[in-house]
């Protein structure tokens, strides 16, 4: 079993994800991910204008908020020094590596074959980096 301290793990995850997103945006704007099909500002404007807090989002946001509050209340009751336990099993390794390999294979396929898929490649890179970071952190940087 791998035991992770919550504060260090969450801080590392947030910092890595912010860095990953910033570097992906820089790569997208520099045409490293392929030809830009849409300007980043336009994509973000349409995302927040058309799909932020519509009825479908609320169906997901309300239960997640309720479950988050319940989990927070339970963690406060348990104490501040509780630990997260992540199983070190073959299933965890196989699942993580399979997801990472599939995501990076999709990135390679899109980069080599589809012209104008820079924005899609950028989004997939962000998610692939998140999965890869969590796998590497659990395997190598646990205490």
pLDDT tens, residue by residue, 50-101: 666 667 777 877 888 888 888 777 766 665 555 555 556 677 778 888 888 9
pTM over 0.85: no
Mean pLDDT in residue range 131-136: 84
| Beta-bridge partner residues of 86 | 2
Compute φ and ψ for 100, nearest 5 degrees. -65, -45
19-37 per-position pLDDT tens digit: 888 888 888 878 787 777 6
DSSP three-state, residue 140 = helix
**To the nearest whole percent, how much of the chain has pLDDT over 70?**
71
């Amino acid at each position: 079993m791998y035991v992770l301290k919550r504060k260090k793990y969450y801080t590392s995850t947030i910092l890595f994800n912010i860095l990953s997103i910033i570097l992906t945006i820089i790569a997208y704007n520099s045409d490293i991910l392929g030809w830009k099909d849409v300007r980043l500002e336009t994509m973000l404007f349409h995302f927040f204008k058309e799909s932020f807090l519509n009825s479908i989002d609320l169906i997901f946001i309300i239960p997640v908020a309720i479950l988050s509050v319940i989990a927070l209340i339970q963690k406060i009751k348990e104490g501040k020094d509780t630990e997260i336990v992540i199983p070190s099993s073959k299933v965890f390794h196989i699942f993580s590596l399979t997801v990472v390999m599939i995501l990076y294979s999709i990135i390679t396929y899109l980069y080599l074959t589809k012209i104008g898929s820079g924005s899609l490649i950028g989004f997939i890179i962000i998610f692939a980096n998140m999965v890869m970071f969590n796998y590497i952190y659990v395997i190598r940087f646990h205490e």
